[in-house]
């Protein structure tokens, strides 16, 4: 029996929302999980009126449930899942900028986003100026129609303060788009700090099991409808089965993040004391240049952690080659720990000097800390670093 003023009227915690938000009401005979609506279309009236209509429109029940769940986690009016993180970034931008418009974007962004801004959007006569987020105001032009940042930044985990950018965006009456993939809504709710549009590669923590490619755009209902229109035109919908996998992953998001946060923080502290380690990049550490901002904006500091091996690039490669549990793969946010070396992946096109200018010293290793036991990961790192001390 439902009580007056019951669960629906009190604010629920993130774990509860991750499990329950967006789901259909409890009713005898109904499936506890969301059935996969493996269909391209739905029976309807001659003049369609219902919310559920056609799968490419993202109006399949599997899309609707996962949209509501994500909106509830972000504290947003609405959300829309799309085919990938890059679909989320490109559709969110195309919903706000048109031919002749200008974007101001952060210097440090995901490689795919840089390619979109540098190579593809100029073909549509949309130009971008890249700047340090604190210098955005000087880069604004009369035709600037969007500000774009990412945080924490890969792989140094720098955290640009979005609050002054939110004020700037408001003053100019343009949107501030924030790719918050590394943070997740469990650690950081960008809309509460001045973001207009939140972007996620749901391929990472939201899915959480390295088994589904997806993206999401979160914000006001009106904005999400603008993104939906672009999604319909460009055809970047997320299919029902992928939505179902994402929904299943998101139910444990809060639980997984708690473990990612705890283990990464403990390993960061441990690594900082290690003789073979020159530097640890982790926003929870007092030594991190944005630690104060991180404490103000984040409820926890995430599962990403980077370290610099004292012996440089060759030593770092030997360390990575000694890993047994931690696999080399160019992604992050899954239950399994992964390692990558930016000089071979995201920052391969740069010289050592150019990387250093971005804070990526020789010997740099990026870790995505999974949900394995702390002791097993510590043992692995200790064993791998031992010979370099």
Positions in the binding site for ligand PLP (CB under 6 A): 84-86, 110, 112, 150, 154, 179, 181-182, 201, 203-204, 213, 215
Q: Which is nearer to ligand PLP, 22 or 155 (CB)?
A: 155
Q: Which is nearer to ligand PLP, 185 or 311 (CB)?
A: 185
Q: In what order do the strands lie in the sheet with 277-281?
A: 277-281, 304-309, 364-368, 338-340, 327-328
Residue nearest ligand PLP (C-beta atom): 85
Please, what is the minimum distance in Å from the beta carbon of residue 77 to ligand PLP?
23
Q: Is residue 223 within 8 Å of residue 94, measured between CB atoms? A: no
Please, what is the minimum distance in Å from the beta carbon of residue 68 to ligand PLP?
21
Please, what is the minimum distance in Å from the beta carbon of residue 227 to ligand PLP?
15
Q: Which is nearer to ligand PLP, 70 or 309 (CB)?
A: 70
Q: In what order do the strands lie in the sheet with 144-150?
A: 78-82, 215-219, 197-201, 176-179, 144-150, 102-106, 127-131
Q: Which is nearer to ligand PLP, 113 or 196 (CB)?
A: 113
Please, what is the minimum distance in Å from the beta carbon of residue 330 to ligand PLP?
9
Please, what is the minimum distance in Å from the beta carbon of residue 21 to ligand PLP?
22
> Phi/psi of residue 345, each to 5°?
-120, -100
d(CA 203, CA 334): 9
d(CA 144, CA 128): 9
Please, what is the minimum distance in Å from the beta carbon of residue 153 to ligand PLP?
9
Q: Which is nearer to ligand PLP, 86 or 365 (CB)?
A: 86
Q: Is residue 94 within 8 Å of residue 39, measured between CB atoms? A: no
Q: Which is nearer to ligand PLP, 184 or 201 (CB)?
A: 201
Q: What is the H or E stretch that residue 149 is in?
A: strand 144-150
Q: What is the H or E stretch that residue 304 is in?
A: strand 304-309
Please, what is the minimum distance in Å from the beta carbon of residue 53 to ligand PLP?
26
Q: Which is nearer to ligand PLP, 182 or 244 (CB)?
A: 182
CA dihedral 311, 294, 261, 22 (to 10 degrees): -140
Cis amide prior to 310 (ω within 30 degrees): no
Q: Which is nearer to ligand PLP, 172 or 329 (CB)?
A: 329
Return all residues near 225 (Cβ < 8 A) that are at least 6 apart. 78
Q: Which is nearer to ligand PLP, 85 or 284 (CB)?
A: 85
User: Which long-range contacts does 180-184 make (Cβ < 8 Å, 24+ apart)?
Assistant: 180/150, 180/151, 181/85, 181/110, 181/150, 181/205, 181/333, 182/150, 182/151, 182/152, 182/154, 182/157, 182/302, 182/304, 182/332, 182/333, 183/151, 183/152, 183/298, 183/302, 184/253, 184/257, 184/302
DSSP state of 117: I
Q: Which is nearer to ligand PLP, 112 or 312 (CB)?
A: 112
């Amino acid at each position: 029996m439902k009580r007056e003023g019951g669960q629906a009227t009190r604010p629920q915690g993130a774990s509860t929302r991750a499990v329950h938000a967006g789901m259909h009401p409890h009713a005898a005979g109904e499936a506890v999980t969301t059935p996969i609506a493996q269909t391209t279309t739905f029976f309807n009236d001659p003049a369609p009126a219902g919310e559920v209509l056609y799968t490419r429109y993202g109006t399949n029940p599997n899309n609707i449930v996962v949209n509501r769940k994500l909106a509830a986690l972000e504290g947003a009016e609405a959300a829309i899942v799309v085919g990938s993180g890059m679909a989320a970034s490109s559709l969110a931008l195309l919903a706000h900028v048109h031919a002749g418009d200008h974007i101001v974007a952060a210097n440090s962004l995901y490689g795919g986003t840089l390619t979109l801004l540098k190579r593809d959007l100029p073909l549509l006569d949309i130009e971008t100026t890249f700047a340090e987020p604190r210098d955005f105001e000087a880069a604004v032009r009369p035709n600037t129609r969007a500000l774009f940042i990412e945080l924490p930044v890969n792989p140094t985990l720098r955290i640009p303060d979005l609050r002054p950018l939110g004020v700037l965006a408001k003053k100019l009456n343009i949107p501030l788009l924030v790719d918050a993939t590394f943070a997740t809504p469990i650690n950081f709710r960008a809309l509460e700090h001045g973001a207009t549009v939140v972007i996620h590669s749901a391929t990472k923590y939201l899915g959480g099991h390295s088994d589904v490619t997806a993206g999401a755009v979160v914000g006001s209902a009106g904005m999400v409808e603008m993104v939906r229109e672009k999604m319909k035109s460009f055809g970047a919908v997320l299919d029902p089965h992928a939505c179902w996998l994402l929904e299943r992953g998101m139910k444990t998001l809060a639980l997984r993040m708690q473990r990612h946060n705890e283990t990464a923080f403990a390993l960061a502290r441990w690594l900082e004391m290690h003789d073979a380690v020159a530097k640890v990049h982790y926003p929870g550490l007092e030594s991190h240049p944005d630690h104060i901002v991180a404490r103000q904006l984040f409820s926890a500091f995430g599962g990403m952690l980077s370290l610099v091996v004292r012996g440089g690039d060759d030593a770092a490669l030997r360390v990575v080659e000694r890993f047994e549990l931690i696999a080399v793969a160019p992604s992050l946010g899954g239950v399994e720990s992964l390692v990558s070396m930016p000089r071979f992946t995201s920052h391969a096109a740069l010289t050592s000097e150019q990387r250093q200018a971005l804070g990526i010293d020789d010997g740099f290793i990026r870790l995505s800390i999974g949900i394995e036991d702390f002791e097993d990961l510590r043992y692995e790192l200790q064993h791998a670093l031992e010979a370099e001390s």
